[in-house]
Structure 1
Amino acid sequence: MLKATNIKRFLILIAIASALSILYYTNVIVKNLELRERQIANLYAKSIEYIATSPGTSEFTFIFDQIILAIDFPVVVTDRDRNPLFYRNIEIDTTLPQKQREKILRKEIEKMEKTFEPIKITYADTLILNYVFYGNSKLVEQLKILPYVILFAGGLFILIGYLSFSYIKKTEQSNIWVGLARETAHQLGTPLSSMFGWLEILRARIDNGEDITDVIHEIENDLNKLNKITQRFSKIGSKPEFVEEKVANIINSVVRYFEKRIPQTGKKITITIKGDTEAKAFVNPELFEWVIENLLKNALDAIENSEGKIEFKIQQKKDQVIVDVIDTGKGINMKYRKDIFRPGYTTKKRGWGLGLSLSKRIIEVYHKGKLFLKESKIGKGSTFRIVLRKKV
């Protein structure tokens, strides 16, 4: 939870930093464009001043072509009393009466003066002849709005992302709780149903006066199984203890338990343990046994034929112990190799998709190892790999 909170804070800080950078950069561009437009307006004013103070000049064509036509921002030239004389780049309906057009121009002049100080056209630097009022071009106005548009779009995107993330997290948590409740029922149901079966056998043998020692032993195994289940769930969320154990011994205890009960499913499944059976790793026996049990159950469910094979292959590499769980089941499409570990994801008709998710958490969070689908072929089978560390 803390890690997720830190990620959210980090993303918010990045978003704020990006927004401030955009605002700053856009502001710099706008200031540079405003400075350029003021320089052009100044040049325009100087040109008019030059024409006014130089009778008989022949430079009108140059001034009109190179300066006036190059202006792309609104300009209004007035007399010394601020009465509009002519304008450029201001949209006014030319069919309107003169007084109405002047009224519109005066309003534009008021707005321009609030933004920029008008440029004076003088004679001999003393007598004011005209004023040049100007405003921002459409490009500058659009650039001023741009950061807010980007911020709005970015904020909307972040909001949608946050709501989507929260919805996904809530759905995932809901799936986990539902799955955990069902997993609890399933974990308890397996030994309980087995015990009911042994109870029927026990009654029949007592009625027939037969030996019941082996039945009592199997009932004891199921009771031990129930005890292990309570220990497993008590360790979820707490810090488990680790001991150095032979991995093959833990696997063998799970295999023996299932071998007694596989015939009840009507299947003939051969389970073998191969490789380095002396390999040791630091594990929590109850939690690691749970992982092996989940992988074994998945392998059994994957074998849809009446016969099949499941193999546990153990090997050592440097400071690691590797366990491959190989089955001859229906296989998994490799494009779903990550999805199968997601809480709630399942390909079973009656599954709830928590076994692999719990197993991955037990191996990777508690044991600091790895659990992944190594390979799988449709119709051929799958291989899950567990990587354990020899030392914690």
Structure 2
Amino acid sequence: MRTWIKASLLLLLLAGIALAVVAWLGLREDAGSPPPPSPLPAAQMIERGAYLARAGNCMACHTERGGSPYAGGRAIRTPFGAIPAPNITPDRETGIGDWTADDFWRALHNGKGKDGRLLYPAFPYPNYTRVTRGDSDALYAYLRSLPAVRQASSEPDLRFPFNFRPLLAGWRALYFRAGEYRPEQSRDAQWNRGGYLVQGLGHCGACHTARNALGATDTGADLGGGMIPMLNWYASALTGEADGGLGDWDTQQLTDLLRNGVSARGAVSGPMAEVVAGSLQHLSEDDVRAMAVYLKTLPQGQTRSSPPPAAGPELDRVLRAGAGLYEKHCVDCHKSTGAGEPPHFPALAGNRAVLHVEPVNAIRAVLHGGYPPSTAGNPRPFGMPPFSAQLDDAEVATLVSYIRNSWGNRASLVGSDQVNRYRAVTLD
């Protein structure tokens, strides 16, 4: 049975639960008054809010291609349908111009709109609930300082039963608990700052954690890596695995990657390149380092390893054919040893993006190439050329399989059917 059908049936079962708990949830989440607003001067609040908007990469979702900043319109594609990001400029009719600071805080903290409607978790309020009231007020002040743009948002285009909004009450009963970030008393200020940014505004778990059939992140495998729904990229584990995670990275290498897009250990691509370009490169070095310090302390989770191929004639054939393709197309940049010339030409030997249990990132790199983002620390990035016009599906599969099984790498072979799945380019 297809996954979405299973999810539909489960949601229908949750309907009764939703209707029973919706009133209780409303009372529980909105009990008492919200924390008091921040007393900081207006100019300081706006400056702080602008920085926090970068930290949360708010523009990435709330600005459509070629559109006015923060005016919404970009469709967030999910397995259940498309959800357009709303206008968050201070227009009174189509934006948040008639919202109070309390309204804005409830949206971040409780996942509820001004009118009390439950928000879809494509808006990452399961992460944003950890944001402090002071930071929420600063974001609100910054957004209110922007030019008002009149641009109405369309309704979500979701399949039944996912378009039945009251079912969100059941989803929230299972997967959402409001609450702010609580500092770990046994850790220093730097570690806690990193934890706050990673867990809260950075919402790193939204991509780097696997999701279940109902779109909720797996709390038992937080930041353990997983496929990003609809984008067809694999987000690496940010925990302590030595093969697919950060176990053998040092703090400086990770700081460089997050802030510059390249480091001695690799380069970002795909959705992460957008995060570095729009968000992380604009943060202070102290904040980015704090995130790296926090991530480096996360314990190893359940490793999803890619089983190595069995020795035999088939593996020998793939390695011989792959060696010829590598010599022709790759050796000038990545060298015969797979060591590359970091940071501009990443090493392939021991490269975690090559060894993921899902080979999608390596396949897409060979097919479509790409560039790390242009950043202050790497203003003129070196790019990977596309080979989709020169190599057919079988050749790409052979080449990627060779890379995944050379210089000490060991990972499953890739089939031409897997390559064909990602040959077509989809934008946004």
| TM-score range relative to shorter protein | under 0.3
Q: State TM-score, norm by structure 1.
A: 0.23
Q: State TM-score, norm by structure 2.
A: 0.22
| Structure with more relative contact order (C-alpha pairs < 8 Å, separation 6 or more) | 2
Q: Which has the higher helix share?
A: 1
